[in-house]
Amino acid sequence: MPLYRLDILTPYRRLYAGEVESILFRTDDGEIVVLAGHEPIAAPVVPCVLQVRGPDGNKYAAAAEGFVTITQTKVQIFLDAAEWAVEIDKKRAEEALERAEKRLVDGTMSWELTRVRYAAARARTRLATVAAATAKRSA
């Protein structure tokens, strides 16, 4: 598979910089896989599991919201936050999800609702990332 240059940038750090075969992420319209020579687009990215396929296998990361720009030569993904599967504290994410879901069921202040929903979404993305990474490893 031909390789292309990928940069994943967040305000906190540069998550990835290097050559990859493909990357999978989710936009408003659904999941997109980008291979080398993709049509140039600029699109928003919604919270999802990123799957980076490089020369040394698959890597998974949890992504917050952001956007992507694709040119002939390289792909840049800008995210508000992102972390690799190995960096995710599974227990903490589970607890966070539980807490958020409890809040949603029990009801909470209306102004807190959005925040709680986001927290739940974040935790779910993290867990999905961990699940995807472990599934691949055992397979």
Among 1, 33, 55, 71, indicate the residue that binds other proteins (CB under 8 A).
71
Among 9, 24, 121, 131, indicate the residue that binds other proteins (CB under 8 A).
9
CB atoms within 10 A of CB 27: 15
- The single residue listed with the structure tokens 């540069």 is 14
Q: What mask, x for binding other proteins by CB under 8 A, covers residues 47 to 66?
A: -------------------x
* Binders of other proteins in range 109-138 (CB under 8 A): none
CB atoms within 10 A of CB 91: 8
Q: Count of alpha carbons within 13 Å of 137, Cβ hemisphere only?
A: 10
Q: Which is nearer to other proteins, 50 or 130 (CB)?
A: 50
Among 3, 5, 10, 53, indicate the residue that binds other proteins (CB under 8 A).
10
Contact status: 28 vs other proteins (CB under 8 A): yes
Q: Which long-range contacts (CB under 8 A, 24 or more apart) does 40-46 make?
A: 40/69, 40/70, 40/71, 40/72, 41/68, 41/69, 41/70, 42/67, 42/68, 42/69, 42/70, 43/67, 43/68, 44/68, 45/77, 45/79
Contact status: 84 vs other proteins (CB under 8 A): no
Min dist CB 26 to other proteins, Å, is 12
Q: Note the residues at the interface with other proteins (CB under 8 A).
A: 7, 9-14, 27-29, 39-44, 66-67, 69-72, 76, 78, 80
